[in-house]
Amino acid sequence: MKTTKATKGYRRIIPSLTALVEFEAVARLGSFTYAASELGVTQSAVSRQVKFLEETLGVALFHRLHRSIDLTSEGEALYVVVAESMQKIAGVFDRLVTGTEQRELVLASTAAFSQLRLLPRLAKLKKLDPPLQLRLSTEMFTADLRHVEVDVAVRYGDGNWPDGTSTLLFDVEVFPVCSPRFLEEYGMPRSLDELAKMALVESDATSEGWMVWNEWFRAVGCRPARLNTVLRCNLYTDAIQAVRYGQGMTLGWNRLVDDLLRAGELVRIDLATYRPSDAYYVVVPHGRTITPVITQLIEWLRGDPAPC
């Protein structure tokens, strides 16, 4: 093939593809040691390649701290482009070798979102795209997507995360819920002060910004002297199960408890509703191309709240 001036230009601007590959591994893994192990070379060799890249560009790509490294703003900008380009190249290689496009996606979410929102809807996804293989990765805390093998993550927050591209999924409402049996036995509270005196099941706040009862009461303009908390749960799913079995009332997040409300297993208490500014987002890690398969998955996640 004839060499063009443009080709020579690229080679001049990008002097070492090896340096870019090794830089990507360091940035993704957050460690020169781990990158060297993955690439099968020495740590000093990786350090030399990254140093060469920094000298060529005239900028620092990493903040080298005492026991860790962080990307600089210039390093972050380079990593996003390099990771995406390498993902595209890997995708083409995979398609050429196997003759098919990747059909397995790793979807990360909390246990609450997975159990209450995802699992009841899997049958609908299988109807939409039978060949798609979904692998669920349940997280207790939000992990840096540069350091885990995830194609799509569902997060609750303000939508601003440095490790991926966010797409709004849906907003939320928070309100009290209980079982029909509990309501029959103890009656409907007529005020927020009465609600505070009823048996309340607490779910621990998480790093994602989930509310506890005290915060919810303040948010809706009520400050009861004390709350009658009868059970505390580490997991939101445990709190929901306890309430289903008639143990008391807990806070319901509409996108998670809609199915249970529709089925009559839970009852919404309409004394007050809080609408947080935060919402649920789908996050695609930097370096992952938003393929038609991922777009379809996002639409499925956003879709009709009723399971098929």
| pLDDT at 29 (0 to 100) | 81
| pLDDT at 307 (0 to 100) | 47
- Residue 100, pLDDT above cutoff 60: no
How far lies 211's CA from each of 58, 151, 206, 285, in Å?
A: 46, 28, 8, 27
Q: What is the DSSP letter of 99?
A: S
Residues 193-239 have pLDDT tens digits of 999 999 999 998 765 667 899 999 999 999 998 999 999 998 899 99
Name which residue leads in pLDDT, 49 or 179.
179
**Per-residue pLDDT averaged across 151-156, rounded?**
89
The secondary structure element, H or E, covering residue 130 is: none
pTM of this structure: 0.67
- Residue 12, pLDDT above cutoff 80: no
- Residue 134, pLDDT above cutoff 90: no
Q: What mean pLDDT value characterizes the chain?
A: 84
Confidence band, pLDDT 50/70/90 cuts, at residue 266: very high
**Per-residue pLDDT averaged across 61-76, rounded?**
86
Phi-psi bin for 143: left (phi > 0), alpha (psi -120 to 50), beta?
A: beta
**Per-residue pLDDT averaged across 271-288, rounded?**
89
Confidence band, pLDDT 50/70/90 cuts, at residue 262: very high
pLDDT above 90 covers a percentage of the chain that reads: 37
| pLDDT at 291 (0 to 100) | 79
Distance CA 133, CA 124 (A): 13
Among 88-102, 108-122, 261-275, where is mean pLDDT lowest? 88-102
Q: Could you tell me whether strands 152-157 and 279-285 are parallel, antiparallel, or unpaired per DSSP bridges?
A: antiparallel
| pLDDT at 250 (0 to 100) | 97
Phi-psi bin for 290: left (phi > 0), alpha (psi -120 to 50), beta?
A: beta
Which distant-in-sequence residues (6+ apart) come within 8 Å of 51 by Cβ? none
Name which residue leads in pLDDT, 278 or 127.
278
Q: Could you tell me whether strands 152-157 and 164-170 are parallel, antiparallel, or unpaired per DSSP bridges?
A: unpaired
Q: Which alpha helices (H) appear in the chain, and where do they start and end?
A: 5-13, 17-29, 32-39, 43-57, 73-98, 111-113, 122-128, 180-186, 192-197, 213-219, 236-244, 254-262, 292-302
| pLDDT at 185 (0 to 100) | 94
**Per-residue pLDDT averaged across 90-115, rounded?**
72
Confidence band, pLDDT 50/70/90 cuts, at residue 10: low
- Residue 97, pLDDT above cutoff 80: no
- Domains belonging to the chain, first-starting first, are 5-98 (1.10.10.10), 104-169+278-302 (3.40.190.10), 174-268 (3.40.190.10)
pLDDT above 70 covers a percentage of the chain that reads: 83
Confidence band, pLDDT 50/70/90 cuts, at residue 3: very low
281 with 154: CB under 8 angstroms? yes
Confidence band, pLDDT 50/70/90 cuts, at residue 308: very low
Residues 238-254 have pLDDT tens digits of 999 999 999 999 999 99
| pLDDT at 175 (0 to 100) | 97
